[in-house]
């Protein structure tokens, strides 16, 4: 083999290696961080945060329910892109419903004021 053949072979292997490793990259799940605050903008511990796709016309129901931590936050992960309805309650307090758009490899942030 001459030097041109060796260089061509090395370049070809390099190009295919790059194509194969980038095309097989798996997307990370989309994340949602919901922050629940009160009327004084203080975090609300123990609020129930319900994310669901009941209002979507697309097939398949997605649901996730968590309780807010000491910082008033809940953390959610979803493998596919979706738009979810967010419902937050604590005792008799109910926040207005909101929507959140989840995209793989990204983190969506939403703050909900509980009145």
Domain of 42 in residue numbering reads as 30-113
Separation CA 11–CA 64 (nearest Å): 48
| Residue 107 counted as domain residue | yes
Is residue 79 within 8 Å of 105, Cβ to Cβ? no
Question: Among the listed ranges 11-20, 51-60, 80-89, which one has the minimum average pLDDT value?
Answer: 11-20
Which tens digits make up the pLDDT trace of 62-113? 789 999 999 999 999 999 898 999 999 999 999 999 999 999 999 999 999 9
What's 43's DSSP letter? Answer: B
Task: For residue 60, give the nearest of 75, 77, 82 by alpha carbon.
Answer: 82
Q: How many domains does the chain have?
A: 1
| Residue 8 counted as domain residue | no
Is residue 55 within 8 Å of 85, Cβ to Cβ? yes
Give the CATH number, domain containing residue 87: 2.60.40.1120
């Amino acid at each position: 083999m001459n030097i041109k053949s060796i260089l061509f072979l090395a370049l070809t292997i390099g190009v295919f290696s790059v194509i194969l490793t980038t095309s097989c990259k798996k997307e990370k799940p989309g994340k949602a961080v919901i922050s629940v605050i009160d009327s004084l903008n203080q975090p609300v511990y123990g609020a129930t945060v319900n994310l669901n796709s009941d209002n979507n016309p697309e097939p398949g129901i997605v649901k996730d329910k968590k309780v807010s931590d000491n910082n008033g936050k809940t953390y959610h992960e979803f493998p596919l892109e979706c738009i979810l309805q967010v419902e937050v309650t604590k005792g008799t307090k109910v926040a207005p419903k909101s929507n959140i758009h989840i995209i793989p490899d990204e983190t969506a942030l939403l703050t909900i004021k509980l009145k």
